[in-house]
Amino acid sequence: MGRYHTGSDIFVCEVIILIFITMKKSIIVLAVILGLIGWSCSKYETVHNLKQSVEKSTAEINTAISTISTTKGYQLLSLSSDAAKSEESFNDSITLGLIAGIYDFQPDTAPTHKHINHPYRLFKRTGNSEKMIINLPERMSFHSKYLHFYSPSDTILKNNFTITASDYHLYYNWWNSYDYKLNAGFMIDSKDIGNMDVTSSSNSYKDHLYSSKYTFTEGYSISADWETGDTTKSSFYLSQNDKILLKETSVFVWNNIHKHEKQYTITIGNVDIKRISGIDSIQVYFNGVLQKQAAAFITDNADSTGSICHKRDILLTFDDGTTAKLSTMIDPALTALRTLIDSLHNMYFAKNIVDYIALNIYYNTH
C-alpha cells in the first residue's frame, strides 16, 4: 500500500525547502559581500596609494609597449626614410576624388615622362571606389626603397598588403603654405593591422599645426600633436581604448632666438607631475589632489626637447621617503616609445609610401 503524507510530513518538507532556499540566498549574499570587499580593497590600493599607483601605471605602460612592439603596425611606424626620392618638390593640389579607385601594383615599364620622379606607372586601376585602395607587396610597404627603386622581379610578388584611404588631400602653395590630411587603414593578407590618422597644415615658415595617431588592433593607440609659432606646444599620448596610460605635454615660448619652457606636464595613470614657470617647486597631483609630502625633480641633459623620450628624466620621492627614477621604471619601453614618437612626428610611412603612391597615380592619370 502507498504511504499517505500527513500534514506534519508536508510541514517538514516545507521547512527543509525553506532552509535550503535561505542558505542558498545567504551564500549568494556572502559571495556578493566578499566580492564588494575585494573590489573595495583593490580600489583602495589603486586610488589611495601614490607609490603603488605609479608602479601599477608604469607596469601597464611597459606591457602596452611590449605588446605594441611585436605588431606589424609598429613595423610600419618604425619605417625610416631610406629612399632618396621621397623628398620631391610639389606645388599642386591632390584630392581624394582625383585618385579614388582600386589599384594593384602592376608596373608599366614604358616610361611616360610626365614627371621626373615618376616616369613609370606603378599601379593599374582595377576597380571603382570612393576611397583610394592600394594593393601592393608587403615588402614594399615595410621597406620603401623597394617601392621607389623597384626591379622587374618584384612583379611576381603577391599584392598582399592593402592601404585603404578613406580621407586624403594634399593642398600646397608657395611660401610654405600647405594643408594635408590622411586617414587610412592597413591590412596584410586581409587581416587588419591598424589605422593611421594624420593632419598637418601651415600658413608660414614658422606656424605649423600637426596631429598624428596610430590605432593598433590590440586596443592600444599612440598619438602626437605639435604646434609651432611664437609658442611651441608638443604632446604625445599612449592610450588603451579610452584610458590614458601616459601623456606628456611641453609648452615653450620664444625669447628672441632662444626658447624657454613655460609649462611641462606628464600624466602617468592618475598621477600628474607639473612644472610651471614662476613656481619654484614641481607639483605632484594624485587623483587631482596636490600631494604635499611627495616631490619630484626633473633633470635635463643638453639640447633637451622637453621629453622623457629625449634626454629628460624625473626623480620621484614618495610619501614614505623612497625614491625612484621614471627612466628606470619604464626603461623597457623607452626605446620603443622614442621610435614611435619620432616616426609620428616625421610621418615616414605617410610620406614615403602613401604620398609617393598617390603622386604616382596622379601624375600618370592626369
φ, ψ for residue 49 (rounded to 5)? -130, 110
Is 273 in the same domain as 340? Answer: yes
Amino acid at site 315: L
Is 92 in the same domain as 15? Answer: no
Q: Is 303 within the bounds of a domain?
A: yes
- Tens-of-pLDDT digits for all 366 residues of the chain? 444 444 445 444 454 444 444 555 555 444 444 454 444 444 434 445 899 999 999 999 999 999 999 999 999 888 765 544 444 555 668 999 999 999 999 988 666 555 556 667 899 999 999 999 999 999 989 888 888 887 777 678 899 999 999 999 998 776 667 899 999 999 999 999 999 999 999 887 778 899 999 999 989 999 999 898 888 899 999 999 989 999 999 998 877 777 788 899 999 999 999 999 878 789 999 999 999 889 899 988 655 667 888 888 999 999 888 999 999 999 889 989 988 888 888 888 888 899 989 988 998 887
The CA distance from 344 to 336, in Å, is 12
Enter the pTM of the model: 0.81
Is 76 in the same domain as 14? Answer: no
Identify the domain containing residue 22 by its residue range: 9-48
Is 97 in the same domain as 40? Answer: no
The CA distance from 184 to 49, in Å, is 42
Is 122 in the same domain as 243? Answer: yes
Is 219 in the same domain as 260? Answer: yes
Is 172 in the same domain as 204? Answer: yes
Is 145 in the same domain as 237? Answer: yes
Q: What angle do CA 243, 247, 248 make, to 5 degrees?
A: 175
Amino acid at site 155: T
Q: Is 60 within the bounds of a domain?
A: no
Number of Cβ within 10 Å of residue 110's Cβ equals 9
Number of domains in the chain: 2
Q: Is 1 within the bounds of a domain?
A: no
Is 36 in the same domain as 168? Answer: no
Is 43 in the same domain as 79? Answer: no
Assigned C-alpha cell, 111: 616610361
> Which regions of the chain does DSSP assign to beta strands (E)?
93-95, 101-108, 121-127, 132-136, 161-173, 177-188, 191-202, 208-215, 220-228, 231-240, 243-255, 258-268, 271-276, 283-286, 289-290, 295-300, 312-317, 323-325
Is 26 in the same domain as 89? Answer: no
Helix, strand, coil percentages, rounded to 5, for the chain: 35, 40, 30
